[in-house]
Amino acid sequence: MLKRISEHGLYYFSLIVILTLAFFLAYSNSYDRSFQIGVVIATTFFYVLWGIMHHLLNHDLHMKIVIEYILIGAFGLTVIFFLLSVNGS
């Protein structure tokens, strides 16, 4: 695992930077609902796209993998949307 991370350092670095940026944006605007939704949609889109691109560059992209990233992204969006909705905020 560590070997793969070091081999794909740029990819993981960029992923961590984007996720960290999303965290800070989310934290600093934690009371603005429109912004919250925008941040989570943009981050999810980036995560799915970045994952697919990475597999494509590694020549191991498969439809199963695309669906997996989309499902995990959809899971994350579902959690956040319903959290905001159920909590009445």
Partner 1 sequence: MKEFLSHLFIPKESNNHRAKVLHHTNLFLSIVFLVLASFFIQAVKTKFPSVLGIQADISSEQLLFLTNKERQNIGVGSLVINDKLSQAASAKAQDMFEYNYWAHNSPTGKTPWVFIRNSGYRYVYAGENLARGFTRAEDAIKAWMESPDHRSNMLSSNYKDVGFAVRVGQLNGEETVLIVEELGNLNLPIVRSRVESSKPVVQSAPHISVQAVHRQPLINIQSLSSNIYIVFVVVFIFALLLDMIIIEKKKIMRFVGHNIDHILYLLLILVLIGIWGKGVII
Tell the smallest beta-carbon distance from residue 69 to partner 1 (Å): 6
Least Cα distance to 54 among 9, 23, 3 occurs for 9
d(CA 62, CA 68): 10
Tell the smallest beta-carbon distance from residue 48 to partner 1 (Å): 9
DSSP letter at 22 equals H
Other C-beta atoms within 10 Å of 51: how many? 20
Tell the smallest beta-carbon distance from residue 4 to partner 1 (Å): 8
Our CB check for partner 1 shows the closer of 10 and 85 to be 85
Whole-number Cα distances in Å, 60 to 16, 28, 35, 37, 72: 22, 38, 35, 32, 19
The footprint of partner 1 (CB under 8 A) covers: 1, 5, 12, 15-16, 19, 22-23, 26-27, 30-33, 36, 40, 43-44, 47, 50-51, 54-55, 60, 62, 64-65, 67-69, 71-76, 78-80, 82-89
